Amino acid sequence: MLDVREESRPVALESAPEEARWRWKDLLDTDVLDPADIQLVMDTAEAMSEVRSRPMSKVATLRGTTVVTLFYEQSTRTRASFEVAAKALGADVVNLTASGSSVEKGESLIDTVRTLEAIGADLVVMRHGKSGAPYLAARHSKAGIINGGDGTHAHPTQALLDLFTMRRHLGDLAGRKVLIVGDILHSRVARSNIWTLVSAGAEVTLCGPATLLPTSLAGRSERGSVKVTTNLDQAIAGADVVMALRIQKERAERGLIPSLREYIRGYQVNARRLALAAPGALVMHPGPMNEGIEISPEIAHGVGSVIEEQVSNGVAVRMAILYLMATARTA
Amino acid sequence: MSIEAMLGREEVGRTLRRLAHEIIENNRGAENLVLVGLLSRGYPLAKRLAAAIEDFEHVTVPVGRLDIGLYRDDVTRRAAPPRIRPSEIPADIDGKTVVLVDDVLYTGRSIRAALDALLDFGRPARVRLAVLIDRGHRELPIRPDFVGKNIPTGAFQSVQVRVAEVDGDDGVYVFDEEATHA
Amino acid sequence: MSERILIVGGRVVDSASGTDALLDVLVEGGVVRAIGPGLGGDGARRVDASGCIVSPGFVDLHAHLREPGFEQKGTIATETEAALRGGFTTICAMPNTLPAPDSGSIVESLLERIARDARVRVLPIGCTTRGRNGSEVAEMSELAAAGCVAFSDDGNPVAHGAVMRNAMMLAGSLGLPVSEHCDDPVLSAGGVMNEGRVSERLGLAGQPVTAEISAIARNIALCEATGTRLHIAHVTTARGLEMVADAKRRGLPLTCEVTPSHLFLTEDAVFGGGKEAAYDTNAKINPPLRTEADRRALCAGLNAGIIDAIATDHAPHAIEDKLCEFDNAAFGISCFETALGTLLTQVGRGELDLHAVLRALTTGPVAAFALAAKAPGAGRLAEGSRADITVFDPNQSWVVDVQRFASKGKNSPLHGLELTGRVRAVVVAGELAFAEEVAHA
């Protein structure tokens, strides 16, 4: 993968490496990223994926950089994925959870991030139950804030790893049909995926029960489009990617869906429905899965499933983000 | 702006063939040899050296490419960090003779980084260094085993190697730094 | 001792008398002594009002003074100073204090604090239900006797239909209106902003317009059934306003108010100046800022006279109440000191009619709460009546700086915005209580 430059005039540089121009102090959502930003993440993640495959899969690049994971909500994979990524780059990692910390004693988010900054945190990966909380943290912290999922708003690194996984299998996503099924209203994964997928030129369809389907997300840009529908059997026809989202039992308790049984009837991704998708369609899920509810087990572990790949790609993509942000911030 | 052409296309080709012979001679043949070129310009030079060695010895020499961005000692100090590209080492390097290939040897810091990167892929029996140009001004105790041409330069000069695969044509130029800053 | 003040060279606009002319106003002994051209006022303090409008002091039916109970957010002293600087000379204090004014003695104690600290005339609003609990009607006759001018549970809508019906019947027998925040708390449960495009984008729980519309519908029905005067607090939806207009056409004793915030801003304010500035807690207000279509309907409703009053819903908060996650932030905007600025900026844009705005700041609210007897002189300029006067320059531009607010509440989404129209001088009960010296260019 050599980059052959069109320009062939001699320039007075001594084999200067091409620069990674990352513009963002924080990564709060994917909606502010332009195609060049996304391409930079994808290319860097490709390199990180190669690093992960080496006999010695750890480098010392971010030696001296401190990454704090600040998780106000339970999470296994996202926190672990960031920790592995940070350590693979040689950064020091401090893991904080809300329980057992000063947060339990009523410390405000702003005070917490300022304290982390004072003890030398360069990057703070934050998971928070309230939409927009990382924006508040970012406005009051010199440390770079990486949104590891905020409320029902955004989960940018998940969207980037989803894009990375799709591109590895499908190449250019222009004109590709990507279907996201489930509780769109409460899904930070769906929201962040919309921006990266539309930027990549995909035709996105959001599908779910009417009570969980925010219709204003439908729209069209110069590159891609977003449609919303409640009819899964129609929406899945010809889909290149089928992404099922986790449905929480709480939605039934709150009356947003009559029951999980009723949900399964209308919206489970299963073999019968997947047969309607494009041949070889990718099956994705951000995890953790409720197998037998939003996705049937034979599909979750079937030939088209790239769900485990999403998890391993997550480390490479998060390495890319950490590298780009840690190095950009010292610039 | 003052630009002086030091080597033309044909001279670059002749120099590479000579380097290929030296590598074969030093290695007593082309067995157990792996060439690893640094990105961006060392890699195409390594491929050409390998082709020349194959020509002379009728032995296929594996060629790898190495991105040293993650190993640079200035990565968190630079105004803009380097773009990272995947490395590719196609063969097991344990017990082999690995020849690192780069276009210009200057401070030695790139080669220090390349050694660290290379050793993450395995434990070669020995590592050699081949460069097209050695312009001096070393900052680390590193010396090349195979040199295409020594070009002594002043502190206010810079050297650019152009490689057809990257730049469209081959050639080596020396620039006057003051002119470029004018 | 009251002073003699001569306000010269201004354009006097008084909705009550239909006056709109360049006239002088002489104040003496606490009352308006004379209104006319070329008045002489030997020895009087002169207020140069050239280029300015001279209006009756503004009347606000909906303000939060925070005292007693929440003095960290605001006090009667600080918030009435803010009202004064905003040109408001008569304000009605909402009962969401601690304790809430649900008994005569609490109202009396409140009136003592007001008499001691208030910079403008403050009229208390009593609770509709005991402790604003929504289940037992407050002792309304005692509250009326103590001086309450209306009943309201403020931000706690009376959800229970039978309780609201009883409250309206009892309030009606006392001749006092009920001011109701129309919201179905079940429909809007958990909502922190308008439900729609922006809430779906930001992943915030929304309050649907149906929550306001259905509550307005119920309360109009109760108004019709009881015959009691119903005042719809801060209407925000186009459809809700249509229902108000329809009820008025049918002759129901119904009035309504709109806030300057809902006239000026939309849900986009929560987005801030762009995504990186999103989740602006200073734009969190209840009822929420709605859509541009709603905002335009409110402007049209004000211009057409369907909306009786502009009420600030001035809601000061302490810094920590807003400097937090959007979901956790308090509702409300500190509005006294920007109200006139936004309204006149909209007059300048042609969105609002100057006379409609001034009517809704003076005679409109006085009529809605029938304040003429309880607050003599409020909302009008008449010779012999109490002199509450606001002089403002409709063309003066200024930049909102919350740090310069007199209010303890620095919570305004307008910080840094340039507005056109500024209060220059305010006379309260015949005293020049506020005067800003401005060098003329």
Q: CA-based angle C186:C191:C197, to the nearest 5?
A: 120
Task: Give the model's confidence band at A250: pLDDT under 50 very low, under 70 low, under 90 confident, else very high.
Answer: confident
Nearest to A189 by CA among A164, A166, A160: A160
Q: Which residues pair with A227 in a beta bridge?
A: A205
pLDDT of the residue at A12: 38
Closest CA of chain A from B149, distance in Å = 16
Q: Are residues A259 and A180 in the same domain?
A: yes
Q: Which of B1, B76, B109, B180 to mutate to test the interface with A (most CBs of A within 10 A)?
A: B76
Residues of chain A with pLDDT > 70, as a percent, come to 93
Closest CA of chain B from A177, distance in Å = 29
CB C311 within 8 A of CB C232: no
Q: Residue B179: inside a domain, yes or no?
A: no
Q: Do C197 and A151 touch (CB under 8 A)?
A: no
Alpha helices by DSSP H, C2-135: 76-85, 104-117
Q: Residue B118: inside a domain, yes or no?
A: yes
Q: Is the pTM for the entire model greater than 0.95?
A: no
Task: Give the model's confidence band at B1: pLDDT under 50 very low, under 70 low, under 90 confident, else very high.
Answer: low
Domain boundaries, chain C: 56-368
A138 pLDDT higher than 70: yes
C151-162 pLDDT, tens digit each: 999 999 999 999
* Sequence-separated contacts (24+) of C265-270 with Cβ below 8 Å: C265/C289, C265/C295, C265/C413, C266/C290, C266/C291, C266/C292, C266/C294, C266/C295, C267/C193, C267/C194, C267/C196, C267/C197, C267/C198, C267/C199, C267/C291, C268/C198, C268/C292, C269/C413, C270/C193, C270/C198, C270/C202, C270/C204, C270/C326
Distance between CA atoms of residues A192 and A153, nearest Å: 8
Q: Residue A309: inside a domain, yes or no?
A: no
Q: Which of A112, A136, A245 to mutate to test the interface with C (most CBs of C within 10 A)?
A: A136
Cβ-based contacts of A320 with chain B (< 8 Å) = 84
pLDDT of the residue at C326: 97
Q: Which residues pair with A314 in a beta bridge?
A: none
Cβ-based contacts of A127 with chain C (< 8 Å) = none
B89-148 pLDDT, tens digit each: 998 999 999 999 999 999 999 999 999 999 999 999 999 999 999 999 999 999 999 999
CB C205 within 8 A of CB A185: no
Closest CA of chain A from B26, distance in Å = 28
A235-256 mean pLDDT: 94
Q: Determine which one of C14, C60, C153, C313 is catalytic.
A: C313
CATH number (domain holding residue B102): 3.40.50.2020
Q: Which one-letter DSSP state was computed for residue C296?
A: H
Size (chain A), residues: 331
Closest CA of chain B from A311, distance in Å = 20
C403-416 mean pLDDT: 97
A141 pLDDT higher than 60: yes
Distance between CA atoms of residues A54 and A154, nearest Å: 32
Range of the domain at B24: 10-72+83-153
Q: Do B82 and A51 touch (CB under 8 A)?
A: no
C294-315 pLDDT, tens digit each: 999 999 999 999 999 999 999 9
Range of the domain at A75: 6-154+314-330
Beta strand segments in A35-139, E: 66-71, 92-97, 123-128
Distance between CA atoms of residues B159 and B134, nearest Å: 10
User: Which residue of chain A comes nearest to B79, CA vs CA?
Assistant: A331
User: Which residue of chain A comes nearest to C325, CA vs CA?
Assistant: A133
Rg over CA atoms, chain B = 16
Q: Flag whether residue C275 sits within 8 Å of chain A, measured between CB atoms.
A: yes
Rg over CA atoms, chain C = 21
C139-149 mean pLDDT: 98
Q: Residue A22: inside a domain, yes or no?
A: yes
Q: Do A55 and B159 touch (CB under 8 A)?
A: no
Task: Give the model's confidence band at B16: pLDDT under 50 very low, under 70 low, under 90 confident, else very high.
Answer: very high
Distance between CA atoms of residues A27 and C427, nearest Å: 53
pLDDT of the residue at C3: 81
Spell out the residues 6+ positions from residue A308 whose beta carbon is closer than 8 angstroms to its own. none
All chains having 3 or more CB pairs closer than 8 angstroms to chain B: A
Range scoring the smallest mean pLDDT among A132-141, B157-166, C271-280, C357-366:
C271-280
Residue C63 or residue C436, greater confidence = C63
Q: Which residues pair with C137 in a beta bridge?
A: C129
A8 pLDDT higher than 70: no
pLDDT of the residue at A107: 86
Q: How many domains does chain A have?
A: 2
Q: Are residues A19 and A132 in the same domain?
A: yes
Q: Are residues A197 and A230 in the same domain?
A: yes
User: Which residue of chain B comes nearest to A21, CA vs CA?
Assistant: B80
Task: Give the model's confidence band at B178: pLDDT under 50 very low, under 70 low, under 90 confident, else very high.
Answer: low
Distance between CA atoms of residues C416 and C18, nearest Å: 36
Cβ-based contacts of A216 with chain C (< 8 Å) = 196-197, 200-201
Cβ-based contacts of C200 with chain A (< 8 Å) = 185, 214-217
A263 pLDDT higher than 50: yes
Distance between CA atoms of residues B149 and B144, nearest Å: 11
C42-64 mean pLDDT: 96
A330 pLDDT higher than 70: no
Residue C10 or residue A12, greater confidence = C10
A235-244 pLDDT, tens digit each: 999 999 999 9
Q: Which residues pair with C427 in a beta bridge?
A: C389, C432
Nearest CB to B162 within list A10, A21, A64: A10
Distance between CA atoms of residues C80 and C337, nearest Å: 11
CA distances from C42 to C5, C109, C381, C382, C385 (A): 10, 42, 22, 21, 21
Q: Are residues A86 and A213 in the same domain?
A: no
| Chains C and A touch, using 3 or more CB pairs below 8 Å | yes
A290-306 pLDDT, tens digit each: 999 999 999 999 999 99
Residues of chain A with pLDDT > 90, as a percent, come to 84
| Chains B and C touch, using 3 or more CB pairs below 8 Å | no
Q: For chain C, give the mean pLDDT.
A: 96
Rg over CA atoms, chain A = 20
Selected residues 196-225 of chain C with any CB under 8 Å from a CB in chain A:
196-197, 200-204
Interface confidence (ipTM) of the complex: 0.91
Q: Residue B77: inside a domain, yes or no?
A: no
Q: CA-based angle A228:A234:A238, to the nearest 5?
A: 100
Spell out the residues 6+ positions from residue A20 whose beta carbon is closer than 8 angstroms to its own. A40, A44, A324, A327, A328, B80, B81, B82, B83, B84
Q: Are residues A142 and A166 in the same domain?
A: no
Q: How many domains does chain B have?
A: 1
Q: Do B167 and A61 touch (CB under 8 A)?
A: no
C223 pLDDT higher than 90: yes
Cβ-based contacts of B43 with chain A (< 8 Å) = 2
All chains having 3 or more CB pairs closer than 8 angstroms to chain C: A
Q: Do C324 and A136 touch (CB under 8 A)?
A: yes
Q: Convert A289-328 into a string of H (helix), E (strand) and C (coil).
A: CCECCCECHHHHCCCCECHHHHHHHHHHHHHHHHHHHHHH
Cβ-based contacts of B169 with chain A (< 8 Å) = 8
Q: Does residue C313 carry a catalytic annotation?
A: yes
Range scoring the smallest mean pLDDT among C23-37, C263-277, C312-326, C411-425:
C263-277
Size (chain B), residues: 182
CATH number (domain holding residue A227): 3.40.50.1370
Structure tokens at B57: 């010895």
Selected residues 102-161 of chain C with any CB under 8 Å from a CB in chain A:
none
Q: Which residues pair with C230 in a beta bridge?
A: C178, C254
C220-238 mean pLDDT: 98
C278 pLDDT higher than 70: yes
pLDDT of the residue at A2: 33
Distance between CA atoms of residues A163 and A313, nearest Å: 10
Q: Are residues A125 and A254 in the same domain?
A: no
Closest CA of chain A from C321, distance in Å = 11
C46-60 mean pLDDT: 97
pLDDT of the residue at A329: 53
Q: CA-based angle C326:C259:C307, to the nearest 5?
A: 145
Cβ-based contacts of C321 with chain A (< 8 Å) = none
CA distances from C419 to C2, C264, C346 (A): 34, 11, 9
C198 pLDDT higher than 80: yes
Q: Do B120 and A59 touch (CB under 8 A)?
A: yes
Q: Residue B166: inside a domain, yes or no?
A: no
pLDDT of the residue at A261: 95
A100 pLDDT higher than 80: no
C56-368: CATH topology is TIM Barrel (3.20.20)
C134 pLDDT higher than 50: yes
B31-90 pLDDT, tens digit each: 999 999 999 999 999 999 999 999 999 999 999 999 999 999 888 776 678 899 999 999
Structure tokens at B165: 């695969």
Task: Classify C141 as helix, strand or coil.
Answer: helix
B54 membership: H or E segment, kind and range: helix B42-57
Size (chain C), residues: 441
Q: Are residues A139 and A161 in the same domain?
A: no
Q: Residue A308: inside a domain, yes or no?
A: no
C360 pLDDT higher than 80: yes
